[in-house]
Each structure stands twice: as C-alpha cells, then as structure tokens.
Chains A and B, each alone.
Chain A
Amino acid sequence: NAGVTQTPKFQVLKTGQSMTLQCAQDMNHNSMYWYRQDPGMGLRLIYYSASEGTTDKGEVPNGYNVSRLNKREFSLRLESAAPSQTSVYFCASRPGLASNEQFFGPGTRLTVL
C-alpha cells in the first residue's frame, strides 16, 4: 500500500515551458487535491476533485489546469510556467464525506527559471 505517490520529485523548467505533475493514490479515496507550499504561506489549495469526474478551483487556480483521469489519478498541468510558480507541490487524497482528514504525498519541488 503506497498511499499517495507523486512524480517527479524534482523539476526545473524555463519560463514558458509546460509540464504535468502526476499524482496517484491506492487507498480507493474519492477526493483528491493539489496544494502548493510557499515559505510562510502554509499550503494553499490550487484545485480539487471531490469525486471522479468533477474538478473545482481552490484558492490559487490561475496558471494551472487539472485532470481527474480516473479514481486513482489526478494530474496538475502548468501550460506556460512562470517564476511565480516556483514552489513545492503536494497532492492529497481524502476518503470521502465521513472524514475531513487528508493524506498527503511526498511533494514535487518545482523551480521555474
């Protein structure tokens, strides 16, 4: 049982390049989330998927798109990376309505030059 996995662990992009961050969970959770963590800012929600087939914006969605590929996988895409998107990105999952607890992956450290 791997929990929540994220790929890649590290990535360096140039301004304007695109990339997709991958996330998968093997806990049969309904909801999945993408956060970014910046120093002193805590974790801020980018997008979430309450259930397979649905996605919604979080606090900081600009510059990002998401795809809930199936119940296991939730990807985050940067179409045209900017230096302001340099951050650590965390994916999380949650069982469903019965629990508020979210389970986090190990993170992807992204640097945009």
Chain B
Amino acid sequence: DQQVKQNSPSLSVQEGRISILNCDYTNSMFDYFLWYKKYPAEGPTFLISISSIKDKNEDGRFTVFLNKSAKHLSLHIVPSQPGDSAVYFCAASNNAGNMLTFGGGTRLMVKP
C-alpha cells in the first residue's frame, strides 16, 4: 500500500502558465515533505521542502503548499518554462528523517 501517492502520471502545460503537481499521503507520522526533480539519465535533485509546522514555502518560481488535515501537498511552478520539463517526485519523512518515502512521480511537459 503506497503511503505517498501522485495520482497524475503526467501533466502538460503551456510555457508561461502555472503548473500544479499534487501529492497525497496516508501516514500521519510524516512531518517533513520534499519535492525532487529528475531529468532522464540523471539522479533526482532536490527542489523545495516544507515542514509540517508550515502551510506554505516559496523559493523563486516554486511554491509548495501543505494541507495537513487533507494529507495533501502541491507544488506550484509559476511561470512554467520548457526547462522545467522533467519528472517530479514528492517524498515524505518522519522526524527521525532516516527514510524518505517517495510517490510514483509526475511527468511534467512544458510546451513552448
């Protein structure tokens, strides 16, 4: 049973518009959430994170929102650029931090 789910395998967005990637989790012990970006033939790279004591974290064009009551988080990319085309993974951990549980990923395609 997957504890972290990304229900949209793919998303296509026009350049300049907003991309919204969603992630749901079931384990209430998770208290830290991360987004990773992955290009083909490369390892995942860290993008942005959020602690459960916050409901929003921004870094430039990237914003992550956390809704603890719904066990849902989302990544907003504004404006989207063709270079953002990649697979995005949501990950969660508990306060021990040793283990990350990943979602299945969402492939984002930003069309010029």
By beta carbon, the residue of chain B nearest A31 is B98
Known: A48-B98, A101-B46, A107-B43. A40 touches B9 (CB 8 A): yes
Whole-angstrom distance between the alpha carbons of A49 and B41 in the complex? 25
Using a CB-CB cutoff of 8 Å, which residues 76-101 of chain A contact chain B?
90, 92, 94, 97, 99-101
In the complex, chain A residues whose CB is within 8 Å of the CB of B11 = none
Bound CA span A99–B103, Å: 20
Assembled-state Cα–Cα distance A112/B90 (Å): 29
* Interface contact tally, CB-CB below 8 A: 59
Q: How far is the CB of B54 from chain A (nearest CB, A)?
A: 14
B43-A4 in contact (CB<8A)? yes
A71 within 8 A of B: no
Task: Give Cα A33 to B98, complex, Å.
Answer: 9
Cβ-closest chain A residue relative to B5: A42
**Is A43 in contact with B102, judged by CB distance below 8 angstroms?**
yes
* Residues of A with C-beta under 8 A to B104: 40-42
Whether B32 and A107, one on each chain, are in contact in the complex, defined by CB atoms closer than 8 angstroms, is no
Verify A90–B44 contact, CB threshold 8 A. Answer: yes
- CB nearest to A49 among chain B residues: B98
Q: B43 touches which one: A97, A100, A104 (CB < 8 A)?
A: A104
How many Å lie between the Cα of A56 and that of B99 in the bound state? 10
Most-contacted residue by chain B among A99, A102, A103 (CB, 10 A): A102
Cβ–Cβ < 8 Å partners of A107 in chain B: 41-43
Q: Cα distance A41–B46 when bound, in Å?
A: 19
Interchain CB contact (< 8 A) of A100 among B9, B44, B100: B100
Q: Which residues of B are in contact with A by a Cβ distance under 8 Å?
A: 4, 6, 9, 32, 34, 36, 41-46, 49, 89, 91, 93, 97-105
The residues of A with any CB-CB pair to B shorter than 8 Å are 4, 31, 33, 35, 40-45, 48, 50, 56, 58-59, 90, 92, 94, 97, 99-107
A-B interface, 4 closest residue pairs, ranked by CB to CB distance from nearest: A104-B43, A42-B102, A43-B102, A42-B104
